[in-house]
Amino acid sequence: MSAETYIVRSAKLHDLPALSSLAFRSKASNGYDMAFMEACRDELTCTAHSLAMGETWLLELLSEPVGFFDIRLETDKAEVYAMYVEPDVRRSGIGQRLWALLEQRARAMKAEAVMLDADPFAVAFYEAMGCEVIGEAASGSIPGRMLPRMRKWL
């Protein structure tokens, strides 16, 4: 993907429906059934509140969002609340570009580390970005489900 074909920018209120749909498609592409996906719908929905709580950045290709992240400074750590890439463009470098920007924004926030609860299907990507599994965290959507808790020191 050449630099001329994409735009990186902070998300605006009018982007929220498209980002919510992208998050839903991205998570569903891991093979989860519809009951699981419906249980996750609230957590995958981008809202004005989530936009106001931190920083949400997106990458557009031909005026359509193909990836985004939401980070928020919590004490001295940047917590990743969302990071999703359109399934059709995975392995094209978009995730790496978004992660590089995410780290840049976390450093600008004066964060010491990036923290996240990873979908099990995304652990390999986050490890490739330099994160390590440091424990487990309860899912915000599925009672009793535990997610890998990950960290990258900056």
DSSP-assigned letters across all residues of 14-80:
GGHHHHHHHHHHHHHTTT--HHHHHHHHHHH---HHHHHHSEEEEEEETTEEEEEEEEEEETTEEEE
- The per-residue pLDDT for 72 is 97
What domains does the chain contain, in order, with CATH numbers?
3-153 (3.40.630.30)
Profile the chain (154 residues) by mean pLDDT over runs of 10 residues: 75 97 96 95 95 95 93 96 93 92 97 97 96 96 95 98
For residue 45, give Cα distances in angstroms to 21, 69, 151, 152: 8, 13, 24, 26
Give pLDDT, residue 150: 98
Task: Please name the amino acid found at residue 23.
Answer: A
Q: What is the pLDDT of residue 4?
A: 56
To the nearest 10°, report the CA torsion of 32, 34, 38, 41: 50
Say what the pLDDT of residue 3 is.
Answer: 52
What pLDDT is attached to residue 10?
96
pLDDT at 1: 47
Count of positions (residues) in the chain? 154
pLDDT of residue 37: 95
